[in-house]
Each structure stands twice: as structure tokens, then as C-alpha cells.
Amino acid sequence: MTMLYPIVLETEEDGAVSAYVPGLPVYAAADTHAKAERAIRSVLKEYLHAHPASKPEARVRVARFSGSGKGKVEIVGVAALVGAQRTAAKARASRANGQLGGRPPKDVSVRTARRKA
């Protein structure tokens, strides 16, 4: 089973980079982001080998701030970090197909064939 563990990287005032896993006692520090990522990967791997049943207790959410208008702050899922969003065309196709997801067909003949089937 694959588990996903969020990792936070922070640059300190002196330029050092700290890394940690929320909800687990796993920490690392290095001179650069790349070195910090390698260090936290190694520390997390060793920790999970020593404690295989460990699961992070932290729940990770993202605050999205819209600076236009009144400056709205929303709390959203982690998928917002990678830009997981539906386009208007994809949303229309989903409603038309009665399914989640799916892109509209590019060929009109495909649409009519689906309707007849």
C-alpha cells in the first residue's frame, strides 16, 4: 500500500533549509533545498523502517487567498497545490455525460454516435 507523507521545506533567515514531516517526528536541515530533500527522504525512510505502522496524525490543507475584491481566503485540499482543477469545458462534458471527469469529444460524429447508442 502506498502512503503519502507531506513534507514542508522552510528557508531560515541564515539561508539554511529545514525540512519536516507534519505529524511525525522526522526532521532534517541542509544548506540547499536539494540537499534538504535528500536528507528528509533518508530520515523518513529510516523512521518508517523502524516504525512501519506509523501514520501521520496531521491533516494537510492549503489556504488559497484571492487578492481581488474583498480578499477572500478559502481552505482547500492539497490538490490545489498542483493545480488540479476542472475547466469549464470539462465540467460541461461531465454534466452532459452524467459522469465525473471526462473531456468533451473533439469530433461531432463521436457525440452523435454516443447519443444513438
pLDDT tens sequence for the chain (117 residues): 678 888 999 999 999 999 999 989 999 999 999 999 999 999 999 999 999 888 888 888 888 887 777 778 888 877 766 665 667 777 777 777 765 555 555 665 655 555 655
Report the DSSP pairing between strands 17-21 and 26-30: antiparallel
Q: How far apart are the first and last CA of the chain?
A: 39
Q: How far apart are CA 50 and CA 38, in angstroms?
A: 19
The residue extents of the domains of the chain are: 8-50, 86-117
Residue 96 in 3-state DSSP? helix
C-alpha cell, 74: 478559502
The whole-model pTM stands at 0.60
Instruction: List, as one string, the DSSP characters of 10-62.
Output: EE-TTS-EEEEETTTTEEEEESSHHHHHHHHHHHHHHHHHH-TT--------E
Closest CA to 83 of 64, 109, 102, 56: 64
